Amino acid sequence: MTGKQTDNLMQVGRTAGAYGVRGWVRVVPMGREGDLLFECDRWWFLPFPRKPGVEPKLLTVAEVKAHGKDFIARINEIHTREEALALKGSLLVDRDDLPELAEGDFYDDDLLGMTVVNLSGERLGDVVGVTDNGAQDLLAVKTEKGDVFYIPMVEAYVLSIDFDQSEVTVDWSLDWN
């Protein structure tokens, strides 16, 4: 898988070791998109640490079960505990394998790299992630200085998301950090 096809992949989880002795893999979902692991029977794997030139490896999913906050999965290409333990990295899904979104809906991954500006037009930084604090999702914004701060993803603060301009407008000030 190269080039444009790789751009179609979205990270939705990571492996977290073995479960049992028959090759089942423990999986930690990422954010709201973690449940998408149940939607797809094909996952793509990228090992930690990332190395230049390493392409995602296709994994076919035989079975996925909820296990506490995480999941366990039986993957056709993994047969032993040792193989499951060696599988350390990110799990991605192909956007083409996902259900169609309703109009106005988006995946958190769609926000990555967008510019964040406030009502005064001041550039606050770029979106580097979306996380959950238990009460609501938080937009992780990295400033030009490299600092990261978080904006609650609620209507009071996140006013608009313009996918055409790749811009998020917020009611926020850098002084609030």
3-state SS record for 80-102: CHHHHHHCCEEEEEEHHHCCCCC
pLDDT in tens, 17-55: 999 999 999 999 887 777 888 889 999 999 987 778 889
Listed in sequence order, the residues at least 6 apart from 48 whose beta carbon sits closer than 8 Å to its beta carbon are 14, 88, 89, 90
pLDDT at 5 over 70: no
Classify residue 16: in a domain, yes or no: yes
Q: Which of residues 33, 68, 97 is at a domain's end? A: 97
Both tokens of 173, joined, read 């000030």
What is the extent of the structural domain holding 163?
Answer: 108-176
Co-location of 128 and 165 in the same domain: yes
Co-location of 8 and 74 in the same domain: yes
Task: Tally the domains of the chain.
Answer: 2
pTM for this prediction: 0.75
Co-location of 63 and 85 in the same domain: yes
